[in-house]
Amino acid sequence: FANSALFVPKANADDLAQLCFKENGKFRFSTSAHAAWAAPIINDLVAANQGSALVLSSTTAAGKLYAESLRKAHPNLRVHSQWDGRSLARIVSEWRDDHSSVLVGTRSLMTGTDAPGLTNTLVIVDRVARSAGNPVDDARTAKIQERLEMDR
């Protein structure tokens, strides 16, 4: 992992205006707006990497949007998705065999999907999926939300 890197796009004021809305005096993150905001960034990252990517989305709707967006933006790139109407095992196998292709899916691909070598040189996670809360994390989240005047 010595050559690995992590990229987190920095949201500016315009991005925040697109991604958040105010409700009951507090800002809330819009998960539906996030996918539309993230799609062009994903397209750029995949282009820069010349494919060879695994795109993991937090929701089915977002994953379908990313697959469609990638297919439109990169017509010469093979884009596989878990919604292509074939078995997931076959889709993953086809992705592994085509080193420049892209695979788009949800949490079901987050564990157990491996593609050694050049097939998978870029992993994109659109946003970290929230797991069930616990009292300590919930208290920390509440404190941050209060300080930023945000809501879940």
Residue 3 lies in a domain: no
Contacts of 57 (CB under 8 A, 6+ apart): 35, 63, 66, 104, 105, 106, 126
How far apart CA 104 and CA 36 sit, in angstroms, is 15
Residue 53 lies in a domain: yes
Residue 27 lies in a domain: yes
pTM score, whole prediction: 0.81
Question: What is the model's pLDDT at position 81?
Answer: 96
The pLDDT tens digits of the residues spanning 75-94 come to 999 999 999 999 999 999 99
Q: 31-49 and 60-73 helices cross at what angle (nearest 10)?
A: 40
Question: What is the model's pLDDT at position 137?
Answer: 74
Query: Containing H/E element for 71?
Result: helix 60-73
CATH number of domain containing 90: 3.40.50.300
Provide the number of structural domains found in the chain: 1
Residue 88 lies in a domain: yes
How far apart CA 119 and CA 122 sit, in angstroms, is 9
Residue 139 lies in a domain: no
Task: Note down the domain range covering 27.
Answer: 13-129
What one-character DSSP code corresponds to residue 56? E
The pLDDT tens digits of the residues spanning 36-70 come to 999 999 999 999 999 999 999 989 999 999 999 99
Residue 105 backbone phi and psi in degrees, to 5: -160, -175
Q: Residues 106, 66: contact at Cβ < 8 Å?
A: no
Mean pLDDT of the chain: 87
Q: Residues 67, 46: contact at Cβ < 8 Å?
A: no
What one-character DSSP code corresponds to residue 128? P
Residue 83 lies in a domain: yes
